[in-house]
Amino acid sequence: MPNPLPRRLDQLLSACGYCSRSEARLWVRGGRVSVNGQRAEAVDQKARAADVQVDGQPVDSPEGILILLHKPAGHVCSHDEREGPRVFDLLPARWLQRNPPVTTVGRLDKDATGALVITDRGELVHRWTSPKRHVTKLYEVTVDRDLEPGLVGVFAAGELRLDDEPKPCLPAKLAITGPRTAQLELTEGKYHQVKRMFASQGWTVLRLHRSRFGEIELGDLPVGEWRRLDLPKIA
Ligand code: URA
């Protein structure tokens, strides 16, 4: 959590992912931590993050992490290494040691690419994944056979019921952009929703790319790279 108030150095270092609270003692003893340019004296010394340096550098993102990653295909949004390369492996290693650690705002499938927001601010995850908020997501889709104009009305109707879902999908905007390509804008995030919507009508999604998450456009961010986003003032 962001915390502009003075806090113990061991709390600050462990929250920002540098080391455990017990290791912080060694970091301070070793002279790696300073406060206002003066070597820190003890782990229970209290300081504002803005006044602390570690190895001569300002503390990394004490106010929290918020980034946009261009997710490559083949990476999973899970923290579990057994599921394959993780999106978190593309970020500074320290961020996974933060408390709380970084996490994705919603998920993209392993084979999907595009805009993925990552943060350690739990309230932002909640805000942007809450079904009540209807955050829009824009997907670029390639399918296995020619699209039919009738699909636009089927997706827009708000009556499409997917297997095992208690409620129909909310109205979704489909724009057919080529014989087998389309843009689909959703305001919700059911499990594998895009693939299941097309599958329910007899199409298989071959390629799925998210170009926008809410107001956040992927733009020309290269695949596998990330950029920081401004933390909202009131979260
Ligand atoms: N819909 C899907 O089917 N997969 C995704 O990754 C996102 C939306």
Q: Which CATH superfamily is domain 137-213 in?
A: Alpha-L RNA-binding motif (3.30.70.1560)
Cα 232 to middle of ligand 1, angstroms: 26
Show the ligand 1 pocket: residues with CB < 6 angstroms: 108-109, 112, 192-195, 208
Structure tokens given for 224: 């596998």
Structure tokens given for 113: 């690419």
- As a whole number of angstroms, the longest Cα–Cα distance in the chain is 71
pTM, two decimals, is 0.94
Per-residue pLDDT tens listing for the chain (235 residues): 555 789 999 999 999 999 999 999 999 999 999 999 999 999 999 999 999 999 999 999 999 999 999 999 999 999 999 999 999 999 999 999 999 999 999 999 999 999 999 999 999 999 999 999 999 999 999 999 999 999 999 999 999 999 999 999 999 999 999 999 999 999 999 999 999 999 999 999 999 999 999 999 999 999 999 999 999 875 4
For a ligand 1 pocket test, name from 160, 183, 192, 212 the mutation site with the most ligand atoms within 8 angstroms of its C-beta: 192
CA-to-CA distance for 73 and 91, rounded, in angstroms? 16
Q: Which of 234, 228, 188 is nearest to 68 (CA)?
A: 228
In this structure, what DSSP letter does residue 51 have? G
The DSSP-derived string for 102-128 is PEESS---TT-EEEEEEES-HHHHHHH
Q: Which of 98, 95, 116 is nearest to 106 (CA)?
A: 116
CATH code 3.10.290.10 region(s) in the chain:
7-58
CA-137 nearest atom, ligand 1 = 8
The catalytically annotated residue of 60, 80, 89, 109 is: 109
CA-186 nearest atom, ligand 1 = 8
Q: Which CATH superfamily is domain 7-58 in?
A: RNA-binding S4 domain (3.10.290.10)
Average pLDDT, the chain: 95
CATH code 3.30.70.580 region(s) in the chain:
70-130+217-234
Strand, coil or helix: 140? strand
Give me the CATH code for the 70-130+217-234 domain, please. 3.30.70.580
Cα 224 to middle of ligand 1, angstroms: 18
CATH code 3.30.70.1560 region(s) in the chain:
137-213
